[in-house]
Chains A and B, each alone.
Chain A
Amino acid sequence: MKFNKKKQSDDEKFSSLLSSVGRETVAPDREFLNKLKEESAKIFEASASNGSGHLRESINTISIWRTIMKNPITKIAAAAAILIVVIIGINQLGDSSSVAWAEVSQHILNAQTAILDIIIGDEGEGSVVIHDQIKGPRIRRTMSNVEDVVSIIDLETSRILTLTVSKKEAAYIDLKGLPSMPNYMDTLRNVIRELRENPHFEVEELGKQEIDGREAIGFLARHPKVELTIWADPETALPVRIEQVGGQMKVICKNVKFDVPMDETLFSMDVPDGYKLQQVELDLMGATEQDFIEGLRIRAELFDGEFPEGIAVEDYLRQAQAIGGKLNELGLGDEEVTKLGMKLSRHLLFIRFFKGQGEWHYVGNGVKLGDAETAIFWYQPEGSETYRVIYGDLSVKDVSTENLPK
């Protein structure tokens, strides 16, 4: 290979070099850009009128699920799975004699509506933020990683209306088999009432701190099954942030506002004019141990045969983007991707609505699929004296307490 001895100026040299990136590039997809134009204009308008909030959160997370969501049915199935697992159930607690606590809790008792952002797991960069507007038994929900999808959840009828705004697509999702989901505000009220009636309930004052950019006073309510931390405005006693750690799941509710007037139409279960309707039924009846194992198998197979780092809901949310990417790489047909999406949903539901005694244990991080010697998960089914232990080859054995993996 001979080099031409002709002198090249600096400009010529850079033109030669950089021309290499200008060749054979992907031409603009005008259809895509036209669709994006309308979608981006809506987001611009929403952000411009609503300054802060969840819209800002999504810079690093918007692409989560995009690949999995190229098929609308899969998209709906995947979104529904997340919608379901993050529906909050706050469990029973104790009581307090603190006047300030009483004042704070009274606001929850009296609230008719609520607006809040929910984060599952620890808050950090890349956390998926679920924005809820709540009125009676209905929740209007958006998620930072699926920005153009709005869902209206009716807890009374166990039905979800999902609207994909950019494509003007609507779908009703009937949630067959889900555990009962009480009215959200009633749940909160029940919690407070139980607190008041339980003489063993203790509340610890955490003093004042800056929380989410504002001064707030904190209360930590402890109960054997759950710890609840409420941060409230020191002047008005209105709760602004609620952190709940129960079982093996942490839920953070932030930017909490009660009794904000909201129009009924926001919670309408009617399909808006101009939307194309699809009907989807998710059979979520009793996610079983086998469903859980199948999900473990899929998750390992997607990642070079290695089991995931964690299997809690927040771990799944964090891994969702990578899972979507891997599914996309497989080049599967729509139907197959939908089936995989449903299987992963049921896998997730087993953990979210865990029915065993005590806690589940997962130690599969880094273990290879097929490793028959290494236990990766164990739990004690309800009413059982022994544990179910799942190994790296996905075999299951009944094991007594003394023989559990160390």
Chain B
Amino acid sequence: MAKVKIATVWLDCCSGCHMSFLDIDEAIIGVAEQLEFTRCPITDIKEFSPVDVGIVEGAVSTTNDEEVLRKLRTNCKILMAWGDCACFGGICTMRNLFDTEDVLKRYYLETESTKGDIIPASEEIPRLLEKVLPINQVVKVDCYVPGCPPSSKAILYAVSELLQGRIPVLPGDMMRFD
């Protein structure tokens, strides 16, 4: 049987959900045999190619996040939101309480540990969106695995369902928002 091709991206996030793949312990060996990672932060491949499943960690916070997300969407059959930030916006949405300019000012100019006196800006630096969004407000999402990070049970359940050709719907007792 051909391996299931997977691409993962991390947007505005802490990368903890990617790390948490390891929480499934030895089960990862069996899973790895059936998967092939194309673009992901670990392979460091930047290009998108068509895959079966796209997995997104993180919320949509910058123009770059938006572009990466849209590209992944067009290149995958099933798109999975991975973790609270992707599903709901999560901790990144804290900045939604402030104007983006105030956020940048605070970060680059005012923080006690800051030395610089400019807010970096160039065409190559992605701009902050006005609000941080969960990914389903930008593209169509097929399934969700919330958690900060998702529990190992939930991870294994979701991956196993996908490998068996089903769209995972997480039961309530595997769900967690923290």
Do A and B share a complex? Answer: no
**Which chain B residues have a beta carbon within 8 Å of chain A's beta carbons?**
none
